[in-house]
A and B are shown apart, each in its own frame.
Chain A
Amino acid sequence: MSIQQISVFLENKPGTLKKMTGVLAENKIDLRATSLAETKDFGIARLIVDDAISAINTLKEHDFVASLTPVLAIEIPDEAGGLDKLLEAFDNENVNIEYMYAFSGGKSVNSAYMIFRVADTKAAEARLVGKGVKILTQEDIANI
């Protein structure tokens, strides 16, 4: 039930990120969430999109180095304490988080979406299932 995140290598120089978004825009790839991990020397852009397979193919065609990484997408109520409650479940199940980022669905839907990278996605999923945690599928993401 995990979803595919696209990780893209970005050289540390002005215009690199724009080049990537340009390629995605041209090919009508709809971004759901993004996050940028940077070091002194390079960056890694992490993308959640409506169509991961077509996005990675497009990026590769345009000479980007990109890979797919399984991540957990979890829907939580967009309200105070929403994330805290979710992380309590992670804590209870002893699931260690490598990194996470978030996007909000806006007040009209009253939902927020959390993306989690964990060491063992499958094991984490198995532990979280039935603990009141709403894990999204690739299809759910496409339809947000």
Chain B
Amino acid sequence: MERYYQPEIECASLEKIREIQSEKLVKQVKHVWDNVPYYRKKMEAKGVTPDDIKSVDDLHKLPFLSKADLRESYPYGLLGVPKSDVVRIHSTSGTTGKRVIAYYTQHDIDLWEDCCARAITAAGGTEDDVCQVSYGFGLFTGGAGLNGGSHKVGCMTVPISSGNTDRQIMFINDLQATILCCTPSYAAYLGERMQELGYGPDDIPLKAGIFGAEAWSEEMRHSIEKTMGIKAFDIYGLTELSGPGVAFECSAQRGMHVNEDHFIVEIIDPETEEVLPEGSQGELVFTAVDKEAFPMIRYRTRDICRVSREKCSCGRTLIRMAKPMGRSDDMLIIRGVNVFPSEIETVLLNNGYAANYQIVVDRVNNTDTLDVQVEMTPEMFNDNVGEVEQRQKKLEADLKSMLGIKAKVSLLAPKSITRSEGKAVRVIDRRKI
């Protein structure tokens, strides 16, 4: 079995990292110039050619890619290889127009799984572990990424996917699972359920959890760790960049190490797009230097965060990123799923409701809740309680099928939602993260 603690990379000197990055970046820019006309046009518009890119120091000369570019080039505009070389796709939860489809060659899958394997190894995983992957499988990257990483580490992998909580608990107990991979809110829920069933932290065989795909607080980490008697590790990634494993937490649990041999990280000012010095807070920008099928260069994540090269007690020298503090646009991440207020608006309008609505996101017992508040209209009102309730249920069902997660609909009195004079305040996020 290959080893996925790779000190020659993970503990390399900054010079060595930059050397690896420079070499890969030069090749990647040529690849994109030759194979992705969409990005080549952006380079030409900026007056940059591959000859201008000689090392990572030249990275700032390259144009950014944003979510808008992904939308514009959907579905194949950023594909960097012939379709015959693509072996898989994954996708974000957005609807048409906002859905991101990411492509993978076998090489891309391998490097992604390597990243996840490093994350599992950093969380203490070895071939002696039983790793239960309770992220969703399918288009979502969570299940596939950790499943692949777990295989590479050599864990006995349990690809159980999400849901069916009591069955999850049965497998954890019967198979004596030692590592759990899922979203932090699901981990919290599992912990709570196990507590209800009478399991104390010492009765639960798990020793570590790798939790990502949504923002979570240190308080939540402590609560999960205490309930399950485990160490809880954060993991970061985006479908655009491959999936989970772009960055991972080590035993120090003080920020996530970026897999810098595959991803170059920059922090920029989201307004001016200027690159900020290390330690500044700004928008995370990643360049995937060796992905073939979906080669993201200077991809703006919209995640606001800080990075630091301070020495880590684990010995790794890979740069660390803090937990992202928020998104610089209005996308919500609820229970690990991307939710755009505009999607909710579409459903409301389709159901005959006014476009005046409010979305209240909260966290109750460590689980995100989504409350869509709409105003009652004369058209929707009826003296028959059952009919009004039925409309409410239909709206909830439509929201669920659009968003992929459950939403509660609250019917408010007319004009009870404050009308704003400028940009409407659609989202009230009460989660304290």
Contact = CB atoms under 8 A, between A and B. Distances in A.
Contacts of A98: 384
Interface of B: 376-378, 381-385, 388-389, 392, 410-416
A57 B344 CA distance: 33
A16 interface: yes
Interface string A36-51: 0101011010100000
B376 A65 contact: yes
A11 B416 CA distance: 10
Contact of B411 (A7, A42, A63): A42
Contacts of A66: 381
Given A7-B383, A9-B376, A65 B414 contact: yes
Give me the 5 closest cross-chain CB pairs, A-B, nearest first. Answer: A7-B383, A11-B413, A69-B383, A65-B381, A9-B376
Contact of A67 (B382, B385, B410, B415): B382
Interface range on chain A (Cβ under 8 Å from partner):
20 to 34
Interface string A48-82: 00000000000000011111010000000000000
Nearest to B411: A42
Contacts, number: 50
Contacts of A37: 385
A64 B415 CA distance: 9
A9 B381 contact: yes
A66 B413 CA distance: 11
A39 B413 contact: no
A117 B378 CA distance: 20
A67 B413 contact: no
Given A9-B376, A67-B382, A44 B388 contact: yes
Contact of B415 (A7, A16, A63): A63
A3 to B, nearest CB: 14
B68 to A, nearest CB: 38
A63 B381 contact: no
B55 to A, nearest CB: 61
B385 A9 contact: no
Contacts of A9: 376, 381, 388, 411, 413
Nearest to A8: B381
28 contacts: A5-B383, A7-B381, A7-B382, A7-B383, A9-B376, A9-B411, A9-B413, A10-B413, A11-B376, A37-B385, A41-B389, A41-B392, A41-B411, A42-B388, A44-B383, A46-B383, A63-B413, A63-B415, A64-B413, A64-B414, A65-B378, A65-B381, A65-B413, A66-B381, A67-B381, A67-B382, A67-B383, A117-B383
Given A9-B376, A42-B388, A44-B388, A63 B414 contact: yes
The listed residue with most A CB atoms (<10 A of its CB), out of B411, B413, B416, is B413
